[in-house]
Amino acid sequence: MTTKPNVASAEFGDRLIGGGLCAASAFGFATLAILGKLAYAEGLSMTGFLSLRFGCAGVLLLIILGIQRGRAIFPERRLLLALFLLGALGYFSQASLYFLGLRRISASLSSVLLYVYPVFVALAVWIFEGRRPTRLEGLAMVLALAGVALTAGPLGGLDEGGPDPVGVLLILVGAVGYGAYIVVSNRYVHRAGPLVSTAWIAVGASLSFGLAGWLTDSWVFPFTPRSVALLAALVLFSTILPLATFFAGMRRVGPTVASLLSTLEPVFTILLAALILHEVLTRNQWAGGALILVAVVLLNLPARRTKDRAAA
């Protein structure tokens, strides 16, 4: 008589844990913009801390996965080369744009603006795969663009009290690049698995940032206790732990709920930026950010039935 309630209770508890893990993942990824700002303030260069962040994260992931899976961490040559190039070219370009923009505008604003990337993913699917957006997706795109207009503030930029227009443009172009990266990487990541793919993509990105720093003589990373602590936080709290908790949570709640919970990331970034960096958003930026988050949620909703059927 008590079997069904116990099973239902266990399932609810499992989904609750999964939701908590996905929220923890969003919190971990939210620390990236904050730690990036602190790294800049410490005098570290973008090529310096990002080459080490991706390199350490990639090597650690390969070691952990190698212990668990053995030679399974080495996909076939063409797939390995594709994953490496995704990091060395695709993710390197997107991350460069984002962190160059982050240097010019607040962490809160950069996080909110980057989150328009699902709109560009939907547009890319429409253009390259011929799947027209639904009415709900069309509404989400309109809301997202209105959110960007509000969040970016006065067109006059700094002279009229708005954010640096170059910084805003860099983040938005980075969002376009991230959308393109997701569409392209989707063809390869499922074949090697998300964690193995992430490890090799990180290795590729690390080598590109190291090479860029060497060619431009911009690689700066003084090995002080504070800079090493920042690097450790970037590797663990902004990279490995968020990845692990996201996939662990997604196994419990499914991809749709996990994607929706990931929209907490800019919310956490805003809160952390207020507490640590003492940043404050304007009313328009709050309103614009809210529209962008609503748009992201709407873009995830149409996929629920399809993904649930696939999972079943």
Q: Is 32's pLDDT higher than 80?
A: yes
Closest C-alpha to 84, from 180, 207, 252, 210? 207
What pLDDT is recorded for position 236?
93
Question: Does residue 244 form part of some domain?
Answer: yes
Q: What is the pLDDT of residues 125-184, one digit of tens each?
A: 777 777 777 788 888 888 888 888 888 766 444 445 678 889 999 999 999 998 888 888
What CA–CA distance (Å, rounded) separates 178 from 101? 14
Q: How many domains does the chain fold into?
A: 1
What CA–CA distance (Å, rounded) separates 245 from 264? 14
CA 182 to chain CA centroid, nearest Å: 10
Give 231's pLDDT tier (boundaries 50, 70, 90): very high
Task: Give how far Cα 36 sits from Cα of 48, 90, 144, 228, 245, Å.
Answer: 11, 20, 25, 13, 21
Question: Does residue 270 form part of some domain?
Answer: yes
Q: DSSP class of residue 103?
A: T
Question: Does residue 5 form part of some domain?
Answer: no
The C-alpha angle with vertex 196 and arms to 50 and 37, in degrees rounded to 5, equals 20
Question: Does residue 12 form part of some domain?
Answer: no
For tokens 């990236």, name the residue: 32
Question: Does residue 6 form part of some domain?
Answer: no
Give 13's pLDDT tier (boundaries 50, 70, 90): confident
Task: Give the residue ranges of DSSP H helices in the chain.
Answer: 3-41, 46-69, 77-85, 92-102, 107-114, 117-129, 135-152, 165-192, 194-215, 225-235, 241-253, 255-261, 264-272, 283-300, 303-311
Greater pLDDT, 33 or 152: 33
Least confident of 26-30, 96-100, 204-208, 283-287: 283-287
Q: Is 255's pLDDT higher than 80?
A: no
Question: Does residue 245 form part of some domain?
Answer: yes
Containing domain of residue 302, as a range? 28-311
Question: Does residue 287 form part of some domain?
Answer: yes
Greater pLDDT, 304 or 139: 139
What CA–CA distance (Å, rounded) separates 30 from 52? 19
What CA–CA distance (Å, rounded) separates 138 from 25? 29
Per DSSP, the residues of 9-73 read: HHHHHHHHHHHHHHHHHHHHHHHHHHHHHHHHHTT--HHHHHHHHHHHHHHHHHHHHHHHHGGGG
Give 104's pLDDT tier (boundaries 50, 70, 90): very high
Q: What's the mean per-residue pLDDT of the chain?
A: 85
What pLDDT is recorded for position 309?
37
